Structure 1
């Protein structure tokens, strides 16, 4: 970190907007913190284990989720990066297959160690006879963030073609995607209410019910957010005046309020995340406008070498932080339970005061883990370029088990399927090779 902070000019590509790197890192750190607030573990008066989603029970949380759910912004920033990355790839003479398989490698390689961990840990719980209900409670929570891998790869894999549609049809593309998201939601709600002659198909949170009919929104909603990122890259938001951006934010929030008032949608924006719903698409526009308004202060912050060095360091381990923070939270809580030390009751004043120190401990523990795992975030030496069909199969093989984990919850068979699918996907595109650079060395950035 000190070397990065001391010489940022040597590691920052010319023309790169570092405020987007700062935004990406801040989003992931906020995700870690929110998951810490969700994880309330302690002991009851009789000594039995208490597990609850503490922050979700707070009266203010639904309103706060309209700001705290920053995943739409992550896809907006990803859209900006995809637009810039595809433009650079074209200037280097690369085609869509090369672009897609590199994105697949960068998302799938860091997933291998975590899927190995899940497979081994879940197999061990079976051999040791651990209470299956307890295992399911923990595993479903740990596996819940994995949806991001599937959704983000999907939009990145489609980026070259979506950029082409954006260049040809402009605003009509996000409007069609938004209409598709709204239609998907309507179908899902009609099915859930038994209004299509299919009987009542309840939403079950985990496990396929009416959610099956909302899965197309994994494409519609997040591709819409990607299009917002394209507009951000094109300067659409920067050409708006300050009061116009405020108007975009106000109209956007009014639109979200109108939708959730109609029924079907949750007032909790995190609950609207699986399957993703139309309010999250609108939230992407709101957050893009807000990011544009904050661009000046964020730029000034990123001119400081300490912040720039920290962002570049964390950014080089971002997938490791995202994939491993929940397992690390559970491991650290397990250590607390085993040690003869008092634990604050979830929701108590002491529990709230210890959340920020616990965040620092989690990030430090993941950083130590990343000293070895960071090698999986390096782009590997690629083999011969595969065909478009082979690359498409690799993307699908990687996506399907992860979507199944999101729908049904993490268990041993799905962990094995996800691990196998990830390895197979990397082999199909010629990216399942050890990095040629040491863990601490810099690999070429593309």
Structure 2
């Protein structure tokens, strides 16, 4: 489909295009972060070794206060979820149908990736490649998959949290916030980091709620100076929490399990997004920018899920070409990052052409029973959660591919009632 036909079939008059732009920028920024974080080159023993050049820099922790944009992604996702749920229910849709489509949008693109990992890790193991190198590559390539687990939780919670927001928006925020603080308090007082996993139920849903408030126009009604003051207060609050409190000075260190600083960062980023809206709106008034955003936006899941495998594959190819792979953290390596970004993005766009037909939901019939949807959701949730908790390896890749296959089959099945099938695409 051409850019002209894409923009022509979407009603832009009622769409906040600045949020489409923000979503695309967030994902592209994730690629940039990983390009400077992952280095592969000769190790002390002469073999290949993985390193993290950006984290070795003195400016890294401070940079994460700007570069950790996942809270903003969940704010934007909350806006989309709020408007999507309202549209869904206005057309007579129910909670099971909503969760079904949202789960499919995540599980269906993840399935070929897990199959790919299972095949590649199986071949690498059979070929006798160094265990540590294979493990490092697998951990790096699978690291973005935590997002699927967190986002699946948020999407499943949309019907409940939307109802709570409609009745008691402030109480909903306070309840989730108290949950975040309580989990962190127990985690750090007991010294048991696994307790922090409970904050998957509070941190990301709470940040998603900020998107609900954004959709309601709360941020639109604030004076720009108020938004500046709120954002500044949030960043000031992060200083004692990370320097005197128990939290990491790196916002990446607060990611898994998620913690209070991410919530504070999410508030600040929501305010900054609204402050930048006039500038972003002028950018999105340009037809060329609309075309770029819609082309990339329609392929965002492919770009996000596959960018690290593609990046590692291209790095491997460069290592086979004499002089094409500068030593990680060297000046030449840093200068090569923009070039590699363009190449990675080009390969991802080409890959998306292959995967687009598979990832498209197409026309869905009537949703299966609520119990079936719940089972399928669990099957889709377990693989990325396992990667987040135990890192990617061959057994997790194989079992993950099987579970995601079950999820897709269950979610795509359409029970027929009265001899007809109602479309819920």
Match of 2:398 in 1: 416
User: Within 5 Å, which residues of 2 pair with 1:72-221?
Assistant: 72-192=71-191, 210-221=192-203
Match of 1:379 among 353, 356, 361: 361
Match of 1:203 in 2: none
Match of 1:199 in 2: none
Match of 1:232 in 2: 214
Match of 1:429 among 404, 411, 414: 411
C-alpha deviation, 1:149, in angstroms? 0.7
Match of 2:372 in 1: 390
Q: Is the 8 A contact 1:19 1:298 kept in 2?
A: yes
Please give the alpha-carbon distance, in whole angstroms, between the structure 2 residues aligned to 1:268 and 1:360. 27
C-alpha deviation, 1:248, in angstroms? 0.6
C-alpha deviation, 1:62, in angstroms? 0.5
Structure 1 pair 430–48 and aligned structure 2 pair: CA distance change class (3 A): closer
C-alpha deviation, 1:313, in angstroms? 0.5
Query: In structure 1, the residue corresponding to 2:202 is in which secondary structure?
Result: helix
User: Within 5 Å, which residues of 2 pair with 1:246-257?
Assistant: 246-257=228-239
Structure 1 pair 239–431 and aligned structure 2 pair: CA distance change class (3 A): farther
Structure 1 pair 104–13 and aligned structure 2 pair: CA distance change class (3 A): farther
C-alpha deviation, 1:7, in angstroms? 7.2
Q: Is the 8 A contact 2:97 2:424 kept in 1?
A: no
Query: In structure 2, the residue corresponding to 1:382 is in which secondary structure?
Result: coil
Q: Is the 8 A contact 1:381 1:431 kept in 2?
A: no
Please give the alpha-carbon distance, in whole angstroms, between the structure 2 residues aligned to 1:28 and 1:381. 27
Q: TM-score, normalised by structure 2?
A: 0.94
Q: TM-score, normalised by structure 1?
A: 0.90
Query: Which has the higher mean CA deviation after the structures are superposed, 393-402 or 225-234?
Result: 393-402
Give the gaps of 5 or more residues in structure 2: 415-422
Give the gaps of 5 or more residues in structure 1: 193-209, 433-443
Please give the alpha-carbon distance, in whole angstroms, between the structure 2 residues aligned to 1:426 and 1:174. 33
Query: Which has the higher mean CA deviation after the structures are superposed, 341-350 or 416-425?
Result: 341-350
Q: CA RMSD in A?
A: 1.8
Query: Which has the higher mean CA deviation after the structures are superposed, 161-170 or 12-21?
Result: 12-21
Query: Which has the higher mean CA deviation after the structures are superposed, 349-358 or 10-19?
Result: 10-19
The question of 1:284 aligning with 2:283 is answered no
Query: In structure 1, the residue corresponding to 2:281 is in which secondary structure?
Result: helix
Q: Is the 8 A contact 1:217 1:276 kept in 2?
A: yes
Q: Is the 8 A contact 1:5 1:308 kept in 2?
A: no
Match of 1:294 in 2: 276
Q: Is the 8 A contact 1:146 1:406 kept in 2?
A: yes
Match of 1:33 in 2: 32
Match of 2:312 in 1: 330
C-alpha deviation, 1:401, in angstroms? 2.3
Query: Which has the higher mean CA deviation after the structures are superposed, 335-344 or 139-148?
Result: 335-344
C-alpha deviation, 1:191, in angstroms? 2.4
C-alpha deviation, 1:355, in angstroms? 0.7
Match of 1:242 in 2: 224
Please give the alpha-carbon distance, in whole angstroms, between the structure 2 residues aligned to 1:65 and 1:391. 37
Please give the alpha-carbon distance, in whole angstroms, between the structure 1 residues aligned to 2:144 and 2:23. 16
1:94-127 deviations in Å (ceiling 9; x for gaps): 1111111010111111011101100001111111
Q: Is the 8 A contact 1:40 1:52 kept in 2?
A: yes
Match of 2:53 in 1: 54
